[in-house]
Amino acid sequence: MPVVNRLWKNARLVTFAGRDAGIGIIEHGVVVARGETIVFAGPAAEAPEMPDAEEIDCAGRLVTPGLIDCHTHLVYAGSRAAEFERRLAGATYEDIARAGGGISSTMQATRHADAARLKAESRTRLQRLINEGVTTVEIKSGYGLDLANELKQLRVARALGAECGVTVRTTLLSAHALPPEFNGRPDAYIDFVCDQIIPQVAAEGLADSVDAFCETIGFSREQTERVFKAARAHQLPVRLHAEQLSNMQGAALAAQYGAQSADHLEYLDEAGAKAMARAGTVAVMLPGAYYFLRDMRPPPIDLLRRLGVPMAVATDCNPGSSPMTSILLAMNMAATLFRMTVEECLYGVTVHAAKALGLAKSVGRLEPGLRCDLAIWDADVPAELVYGIGVNPLHARVWGGQ
The residue-averaged pLDDT of 315-331 equals 97
Who's near 126: CB < 8 A, 6+ residues apart?
74, 137, 160, 164, 166
Q: What percent of the chain has pLDDT over 70?
A: 99
> 21: which residues sit within 8 A by CB, 6+ positions away?
none
pLDDT of residue 184: 95
Span 154-180, average pLDDT = 97
pLDDT of residue 100: 73
Q: What is the mean pLDDT of residues 351-380?
A: 97
Q: What is the mean pLDDT of residues 306-321?
A: 97
User: Do residues 137 and 169 lie in contact, with contact meaning Cβ atoms separated by under 8 Å?
Assistant: yes
56 bridge partner residues? 8
Mean pLDDT rounded to a whole number for the chain? 96
Q: Is the pLDDT of residue 40 over 80?
A: yes
250 pLDDT above the threshold of 80? yes
DSSP output for 179-217: -GGGTT-HHHHHHHIIIIIHHHHHHHT--SEEEEEESTT
What are the residue ranges of CATH 3.20.20.140 in the chain?
67-356
Q: What is the pLDDT of residue 3?
A: 87
Position 1 scores a pLDDT of 66
Q: For residue 215, which phi and psi values (nearest 5 degrees)?
A: -165, 165
b/e per residue, 3-18, with b = 16+ CB within 10 A? eebbbbbbbbbbbbbe
In this prediction the pTM is 0.97
pLDDT at 177: 94
pLDDT per residue over 63-119, tens digit each?
Answer: 999 999 999 999 999 999 988 888 889 888 778 877 777 888 899 999 999 999 999
Residue type, 39: V
Q: How far apart are CA 62 and CA 381, in angstroms?
A: 7
Q: What is the pLDDT of residue 19?
A: 53
Higher pLDDT residue, 52 or 19? Answer: 52
The topology under which CATH files domain 67-356 is: TIM Barrel (3.20.20)
* Rounded Cα distance, 30 and 255, in Å: 39
391 Cβ contact list (under 8 Å, min separation 6): 328
Percent of the chain having pLDDT more than 90? 90
Q: Considering the domain 5-65+365-398, what is its CATH architecture?
A: Roll (2.30)
Give pLDDT, residue 307.
98
Assign 273 to helix, strand or coil.
Answer: helix
Residues of the chain with CATH 2.30.40.10: 5-65+365-398
Predicted pLDDT of residue 97: 75
Q: How confident is the model at residue 21 (pLDDT cuts 50, 70, 90)?
A: low
Contacts of 1 by beta carbon, 8 Å cutoff, 6+ apart: none
DSSP three-state, residue 37: strand
pLDDT, one tens digit per residue, over 172-190 is: 999 999 999 999 999 999 9
Q: How far apart are CA 200 and CA 181, in angstroms?
A: 20
**Nearest residue to 210 (alpha-carbon basis) of 201, 219, 218:** 201
Are 214 and 241 in contact by the 8 Å Cβ rule? The answer is yes
| pLDDT > 80? residue 171 | yes
Q: Which residues contact 400 (CB under 8 A, 6 or more apart)?
A: 36, 371, 372, 373
Contact 381, 63 (CB under 8 A): no
Give residue 50's pLDDT: 86
